[in-house]
């Protein structure tokens, strides 16, 4: 169990996780100051680490700058502020006064108040049992009776990284259909901000970073990482000074958006979690995966089903007859969940109309959805359906009736993307309307699975009728969370997939309310190797939806073998997304075999520990390995992207095995010594040619 200890003499708190320690203290002026983050220390050992206040050596540098537990704007510190407030009289600086603290098991709350103004600040810390993750957040309360307080910036936490000779940052960048492109590069001096101003997590960046000294590898080295649990606009800023100090501060919000606190109001920030590990990037990833499985996902112990999705087969041309034909083929393959995508409602024959009119299209489904759903269930599958609740087409009955429901500014163009506008879920009436039709849809049809999509970012994000329109940036996301929470509470069997034009809404915040995420609209197997590699740095395979689709690929027009496509998708939550009515009997037979194989290895893939043996590149060989929690089974995926010149096959060294044990290859019957697999590796036996792949199953004897 985590342990939190307070020392009155030094006015310091020591937070002990499963294998690490974190410490903070009160400075002489009562401001919260960072002390330590790293390998485990006892309270006695921490006394050797506690610093004194630094002495100023010139008039331009504060010696304690960059050591604030939550860097606040004010005084002589000019570090990147995590907290900026503006009081009614124009005062901006914050001065801390310590009030009290509470320790409740693995949770710590430290309470402060401004020395003059009616603002209370609570710093929250929580260690989920069995992890080294420290969840942090901030609460700001206006405890006065007069004018509102403007909160210009309210980050959840500042993380101070220990002094090192050098620093490197790992993060992902990308765009639609090219999400989660992993970058590792030196930390620049000054301020570097990663973020999204789009109202969603975004395809272009993701709210996590990892920092190391530049020498960490997949298996070795200290890694400091932080991940934000938020699905709206966000920012994470690294600051590196000339004296070598580095901090990471992050939270929701963006420049120019102000939170207004009226008397009695409390603003609570999302969790910005931190993690220290000393086993390289692989250990950091496995620790984040274990945390997400154990403390974030709603039903972590479940095995996610093999699904079929109709989008790439039918597009908007959805009919009951066509869906029945696909369902019959899917069931014969061994699919467990049939998902009907866009095109089933309103005047939805393309992306130009119908969003907002969530009534079944009776031309396509003369007797409603129930006959199709009954047939899907008769075939032995669960039924899922695509929805996009936050959007509306201008060509819809809803928009014609309620044009004020969308984000907009007076006298400004309402920019359309994909012929649609964004509904303002911060409005209680809009959120209640959305919950109402979703609740009725799920309840009336006993829907098992919702694919919740969002196909465009915010624009003209105004709310003319409201006195505090900036709050929509936060309240919209919170309303999405609340609707998902209410649906799950009212329909315990419902499962949800988060989607935003692919991977535009992937983060720990949405994962707390969904069961899986759509990783990218790009299902090209070669591209997916890279996308899935970046995704898996923080997020677990258990939530990574991956489809096998038609050849050539719908987006890239690249051709790859069906075997390669299956094996890439089997490294996550397997789905089928091709027009299987047109597949050959040979391909259908192979698909049945691979789906059966996936069901056999699924417990290891979805619930085991991931080891990235060889990272993907544009050519060459890459490899992944999953090891069951009890160590009894392992699954190895090996891929050859391209073979430019004749070369002899090289062994792939495995990881996470017991060196003293022996392991049987379930396909060849060969028995290996664990020590040999770890030290030397095995020859995977890849087929000849480009886009070759193999799945190796090992059982501990």
Annotated binding site for substrate: 176, 341-342, 418, 451-455, 499, 521
State the Cα–Cα distance between residues 685 and 696, nearest whole angstrom.
10
- Can you list the alpha helix ranges (DSSP code H) found in 160-299? 280-295
For strand 181-186 and strand 307-309, is the pairing parallel, antiparallel, or unpaired?
unpaired
For residue 228, list its beta bridge partners. Answer: 272
Across 20-118, where does the E strand assignment appear? 20-26, 32-39, 83-86, 96-104, 107-114
For residue 5, list its beta bridge partners. Answer: 14
372 burial (CB, 10 Å; 0-12 / 13-18 / 19+) is: buried
State the Cα–Cα distance between residues 487 and 57, nearest whole angstrom.
59
State the Cα–Cα distance between residues 434 and 403, nearest whole angstrom.
15
Give how far Cα 641 sits from Cα of 3, 527, 530, Å. 48, 10, 11
State the Cα–Cα distance between residues 324 and 315, nearest whole angstrom.
15
194 burial (CB, 10 Å; 0-12 / 13-18 / 19+) is: buried
Q: What region, left, alpha or beta, does residue 552 occupy, with left being phi > 0 and alpha being psi -120 to 50 degrees?
A: beta
Q: What is the DSSP letter of 556?
A: T
3-state secondary structure of 689: coil
**Catalytic residue chosen out of the listed positions 68, 521, 524, 550:** 521
Instruction: Of 625, 617, 623, 626, give the one whose Cα is nearest residue 638.
Output: 623
- 552 cis-preceded (ω within 30 degrees of 0): yes
Length of the chain: 701
State the Cα–Cα distance between residues 229 and 510, nearest whole angstrom.
8
Across 58-106, where does the E strand assignment appear? 83-86, 96-104
State the Cα–Cα distance between residues 688 and 485, nearest whole angstrom.
50
Instruction: Of 330, 331, 308, 306, give the one whose Cα is nearest residue 605.
Output: 306
Helix (H) or strand (E) holding 49: none
597 burial (CB, 10 Å; 0-12 / 13-18 / 19+) is: middle
Active site residue 521: yes
**Catalytic residue chosen out of the listed positions 64, 155, 448, 453:** 453
Instruction: Of 152, 88, 149, 158, give the one whose Cα is nearest residue 120.
Output: 149
State the Cα–Cα distance between residues 47 and 12, nearest whole angstrom.
10
**Annotated binding-site residue numbers:** 176, 341-342, 418, 451-455, 499, 521
Active site residue 351: no
Query: Do 205 and 196 touch, CB atoms closer than 8 A?
Result: yes
List residues with catalytic annotation: 453, 521
């Amino acid at each position: 169990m985590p342990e939190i200890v307070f020392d009155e003499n030094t006015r310091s708190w020591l937070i002990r996780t499963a294998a690490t320690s974190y410490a903070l203290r009160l400075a002489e002026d009562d401001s919260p100051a960072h002390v330590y983050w790293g390998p485990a220390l006892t309270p006695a050992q921490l006394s050797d680490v506690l610093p004194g206040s630094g002495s100023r050596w010139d008039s331009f540098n504060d010696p304690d700058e960059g050591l604030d537990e939550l860097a606040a704007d004010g005084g002589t510190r000019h570090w990147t502020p995590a907290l900026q407030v503006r009081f009614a009289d124009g005062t901006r600086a914050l001065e801390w006064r310590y009030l009290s603290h509470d320790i409740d098991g693995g949770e710590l709350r430290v309470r402060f108040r401004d020395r003059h103004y009616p603002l209370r600040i609570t710093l929250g810390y929580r260690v989920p049992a069995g992890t080294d993750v420290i969840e942090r957040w901030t609460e700001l309360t206006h405890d006065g009776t007069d004018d509102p307080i403007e909160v210009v910036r309210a980050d959840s936490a500042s993380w101070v990284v220990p002094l090192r000779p050098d620093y490197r940052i790992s993060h992902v960048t990308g765009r639609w259909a090219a999400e989660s492109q992993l970058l590792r590069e030196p930390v620049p001096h000054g301020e570097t901000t990663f973020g999204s101003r789009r109202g969603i997590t975004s395809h272009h960046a993701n709210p996590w970073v990892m920092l190391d000294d530049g020498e960490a590898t997949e298996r070795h080295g200290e890694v400091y990482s932080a991940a934000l649990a938020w699905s709206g606009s966000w920012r994470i800023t690294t600051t590196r000074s000339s004296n070598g100090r580095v901090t990471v501060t992050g939270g929701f919000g963006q420049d120019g958006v102000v939170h207004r606190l009226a008397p009695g109001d409390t603003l609570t920030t999302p969790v910005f979690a931190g993690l220290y590990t000393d086993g390289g990037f692989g250990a950091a990833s496995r620790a984040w995966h274990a945390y997400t499985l154990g403390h974030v996902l709603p039903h972590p112990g479940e095995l996610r089903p093999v699904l079929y999705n109709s989008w790439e087969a039918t597009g908007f041309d959805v009919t009951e007859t066509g869906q029945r034909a696909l369902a019959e083929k899917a069931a014969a393959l061994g699919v467990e969940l049939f998902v009907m995508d866009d095109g089933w409602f309103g005047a939805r024959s393309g992306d130009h109309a119908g969003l907002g009119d969530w009534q079944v299209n009776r031309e396509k489904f003369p007797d409603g959805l129930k006959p199709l759903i009954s047939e899907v269930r008769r075939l032995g599958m669960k039924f899922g359906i695509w929805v996009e609740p936050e959007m509306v087409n201008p060509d819809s009955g809803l928009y014609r009736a309620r044009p004020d429901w969308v984000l907009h500014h007076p006298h400004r163009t309402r920019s359309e993307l994909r012929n649609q506008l964004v509904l303002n879920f911060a409005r209680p009436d809009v959120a209640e309307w959305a919950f109402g039709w979703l609740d009725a849809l799920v309840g009336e049809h006993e829907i098992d699975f919702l694919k919740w999509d969002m196909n465009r970012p915010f624009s003209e994000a105004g709310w003319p009728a409201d006195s505090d329109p900036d709050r929509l940036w936060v309240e919209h996301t919170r309303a999405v969370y609340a609707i998902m929470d209410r649906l799950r509470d009212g329909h315990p069997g419902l499962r949800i997939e988060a989607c935003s034009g692919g991977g535009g809404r992937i983060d720990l915040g949405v994962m707390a309310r969904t069961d899986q995420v759509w990783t990218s609209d790009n299902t090209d197997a070669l591209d997916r190797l890279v996308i899935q590699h970046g995704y898996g740095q923080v997020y677990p395979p258990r939530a990574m939806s991956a489809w096998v689709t038609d050849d050539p690929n719908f987006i890239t027009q690249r051709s790859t073998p069906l075997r390669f496509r299956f094996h890439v998708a089997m490294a996550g939550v397997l789905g089928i997304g091709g027009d299987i009515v047109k597949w050959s009997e040979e391909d259908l037979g192979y698909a049945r075999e691979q789906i059966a194989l996936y069901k056999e290895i699924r417990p290891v893939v979805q619930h085991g520990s991931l080891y990235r043996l060889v990272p993907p590149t544009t050519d060459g060989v890459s490899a992944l390995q999953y090891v069951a929690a009890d160590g009894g089974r392992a699954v190895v995926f090996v891929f050859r992207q391209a073979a430019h010149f004749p070369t002899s096959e090289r062994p792939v060294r495995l990881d996470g095995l017991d060196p003293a044990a022996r392991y049987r290859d379930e396909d060849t019957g060969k028995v290996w010594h664990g020590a040999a697999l770890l030290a030397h590796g095995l020859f995977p036996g890849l087929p000849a040619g480009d886009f070759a792949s193999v799945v190796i199953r090992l059982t501990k004897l």
